[in-house]
Amino acid sequence: MARQARKRCESGIYHIVMRGINRQDIFYDKDDYQRFI
């Protein structure tokens, strides 16, 4: 069974949640974060 299509937000703003294994940091500095975004 196929998954449902994503709902699109009119503002184009989405909330992204990322967590490392055992809640470790996944961004070590601002450059890491900016590269992700």
Q: What is the mean pLDDT of residues 7-24?
A: 81
Q: What is the mean pLDDT of residues 32-36?
A: 85
For residue 26, give every residue at least 6 positions away whose Cβ sits within 8 Å of its Cβ, in sequence order, or none: 18, 19, 20, 32
pTM value? 0.40
- Residue 33 scores a pLDDT above 80: yes
